[in-house]
Structure 1
């Protein structure tokens, strides 16, 4: 990896740091803030669901057009929307449901405390191109470790600072929540400046393909490819400038070669050989010398035409991506039932714990997730990507089923920590797997589609949980979450364990 690529990768890790600190802090207070300003449990669930749906629509458009508009420009625009959302939540005294919804949607507020919006899709597409294929899993492992660690620190800081500020300065809980959202707006401004430091290497370079005969495209690179093959194909006599010796096993360009018969009487023996005729055009010469190049150029031109669909993917890639998206959306739907925000809301309503305790809960959970994310790279190197995704995820989902069955706060907290110690080991291998099965020129669109499908799946989780909580059935959110994820793990293994990364 060159110095420019290392610089861009470093900047992306720093932007991940700032962004996840902001998401971690708002994840602790978002549901509490919505409840404090008068929203019911059902309205909270509806707002979180609609927010994720809106985030998905925005992310789909951004990732679909990011390679054309410029990745840096799209990232910078998303930062401005973060500033807008933080300002609305932090400054408007009596916000309506509609205003809260619009601000959370366009400002990519995270209902889960984790990554939402177009940021991760674009950053992962860039990192996939900056680092060698063999290093992707480890890079994504560190990328996710940074995310979980910063989410943990953001949650811990928000929880303890709010508790301290309420005791020291007598501010109300709502006032404290507003300060957290103003910090979110400030983080968006910092991110904007950081994304402007990226170099041109993060942009996707378009390949210029001729739309006329494919041989013309082959001519542009014919000399280079011929030069690469020349030392292997030319005989010493040819290399010295003489005529190539005849090879009876090589196909002849003569029209009589295929039959082995002499030319008929009166036939022009030079027909097809070019004698006495105009010399072939340069594009034809390139096609004759480099038939593989002609075929490759034709295939590339067909690929460009095939990618003109709504998703911007070739048919083969689209089929693969849609199947992965369906499974990942099931996983996200199950996970959306118990997001970080809803988890702390459950603990607050059931056990009546302080904001500081809730911040510590998310801190511990995300720090354990960070360690497991780092270990996932080493596990994947030994077990394989799909095996790591499945066999580390299954036990964590059994632990999720057990959380509401625990007899005390301490046991429930221990079960949450045990789950998070292994639940996120599938994230880095999943990113590496998607990058490996999708061609480089389609990664931005493919990762965008997959991450948006995950967001759409997660969007309906809070709506269901809000309804369950309203009915006094909050514990069922944990049962549905664990059960749905177990189904996802089994389907993933049987559908994709035989498909290996090639890119």
Structure 2
């Protein structure tokens, strides 16, 4: 449900904001504020792990997202939209960072064994990708209202915003019914909430810094701007863009499903690295495509590899640290990804305002290749720490 909402808003947010009168640099600024808010909320969740149950954090974060959606529905004021974006992550920038994600990562780790953990993370991400695909398909409602009933773009998109808020309300209700099995398996006073004082701080900080680099690169090509690029360069309408994103997300599902099998054959770290090398090269060729058919084909081919590293990465970072450092590992890694993502959307907005659309794609590909090389060189000799799962009741 969470990513159904994200999949929906990612398609239309940049187009909607320009339709209500914002410039591309202003859109980039709003989405950057969204990422800054996610970063600070991630810090709050990590530092507050001792004080509130994870279920309460899940519910509170979803409530904040609903409030932000209401602001988007009711106002076109740049200052109010800035507040809403800061609190509610209008950027919808992918499935793999943010306060809710870090809570999900540690919760899944609590109830799985080391052997089954890659498949569990794969299933989690498949559910997320499926939700995004369904969310992307809902944008067809706006296309129908505009094309058949002659609605304005802003009125049609307000219907989508209303649906977005409703999805998050349902999501919050679901979180209320989570069980206590997701809570930490160690006493709360033993939970580490400061990465500087952990025994594994060098590993945590190195890995988090590399995730920041990867996130910065990914932020240059997030879904909202890719949708706008297809709209601007090839004249594709929202319905066709939605179909492209749905198909690509189906490719992502295949990628996620295959990830545990690939990891079992070549190892978690090799899966993280080499699948992303292919995805990064595909992204760079996508930027150079001269026809819509070639561009779409390259984008979908990239989708077959782009998500394969995610379950492997989530599993890997949980097996190289002791049990009481899971919270801080997940939190610091997500903070690294959030910090890396902060400037990228605004930089992309500035580049695109000058019609330099190829540079974000090429820069992202090069930076991701640098990330792949560095993480392999740094961690290829790292040994896992055995973690026992929590007994089920």
4+ aligned runs moved over 4 Å, structure 1: none
Which of 155, 160, 170 aligns to 2:150? It is 170
| Shift of residue 64, structure 1, vs aligned partner | 2.1
Offset at 1:404?
A: 2.1
Instruction: Please list every run of 5 or more consecutive structure 2 residues that lacks an aligned counterpart in the other structure.
Output: 387-393
CA distance in 1, matches of 2:289, 2:281: 13
Matching residue within 104, 109, 114 for 2:95: 114
Does 2:230 match 1:344?
no
1:5-27 per-residue CA deviation (whole Å, 9 max, x = no partner) reads xxxxxxxxxxxxx1111110010
| 1:200 pairs with 2:180 | yes
SS of 1:316's equivalent? coil
Specify the structure having the higher radius of gyration (Cα).
Answer: 1
Normalised TM-score (structure 1): 0.74
Does structure 1 residue 488 correspond to structure 2 residue 371?
yes
Q: Where do 1:305-320 residues align within 5 Å?
A: 307=192, 311=194, 314-320=197-203
Given that 2:137 and 2:242 are in contact with CA atoms closer than 8 Å, whether structure 1 keeps it comes out as: yes
Q: Aligned to 2:299, which of 390, 406, 416?
A: 416
Q: Number of paired residues?
A: 386
TM score, norm. by length of structure 2: 0.94
Partner in structure 1 of residue 111 of structure 2:
130
| Conservation of the 8 A alpha-carbon contact between 1:21 and 1:153 | yes
> For residues 441-495 of structure 1, what are the alpha-carbon distances to aligned partners after superposition, in whole Å with 9 as ceiling and x for unaligned?
2212220110121022122111111111112211111100100000000001100
What corresponds to 1:146 in structure 2?
127
Q: Which moved more, 1:134-143 or 1:450-459?
A: 450-459
Q: Report the counterpart of residue 391 of structure 2 in structure 1.
A: none
How far is the alpha carbon of 1:208 from its aligned partner? Answer: 8.3
> Counterparts in 2 of 1:269-308, with a 5 A limit?
304=190, 307=192
1:465 to 1:108, Cα distance in 2 relative to 1, 3 A: closer
Compute the displacement of 1:157 (Å): 2.3
8 Å contact from structure 2 (residues 214, 368) kept in 1: yes
| 2:355 aligned residue | 472
> Shift in Å at residue 68 of structure 1?
2.3
Distance across 1 between alignment mates of 2:188 and 2:44 = 24
Conserved 8 A contact 2:215-2:337: yes
Q: Is the 8 A contact 2:7 2:92 kept in 1?
A: no
Answer whether contact 2:97 2:337 (CA < 8 A) is retained: no
Moved more, 420-429 or 188-197: 188-197
Name the residue aligned to 2:38: 55
Aligned to 1:42: 25
Secondary structure at the aligned position of 1:68 is classed as coil
1:187 equivalent in alignment to 2:167: yes
What's the C-alpha RMSD, in Å, of the aligned pairs?
Answer: 1.7
State the secondary structure of the residue aligned to 2:343. Answer: helix
1:359 equivalent among 207, 227, 242? 242
Q: Supply the distance in 1 between the matched residues of 2:95 and 2:227 (Cα, whole angstroms).
A: 14
How far did 1:412 drift? 0.6
Provide the secondary structure at the position in 1 that maps to 2:89.
coil
Per-residue deviation, 1:109? 3.1
For residues 371-412 of structure 1, give each alpha carbon's deviation from its aligned partner in whole angstroms, at most 9, with x where no partner exists: 101100000011000011111110111111111211211111
Contact 2:280 2:365 in 1 (8 A): yes
Give the conservation status (yes or no) of the 8 Å contact 2:320–2:384.
yes
* Residues 377 and 429 in structure 1, CA contact (< 8 A), matched pair in contact too: yes
Q: What SS does the corresponding residue of 1:392 show, helix, strand or coil?
A: helix
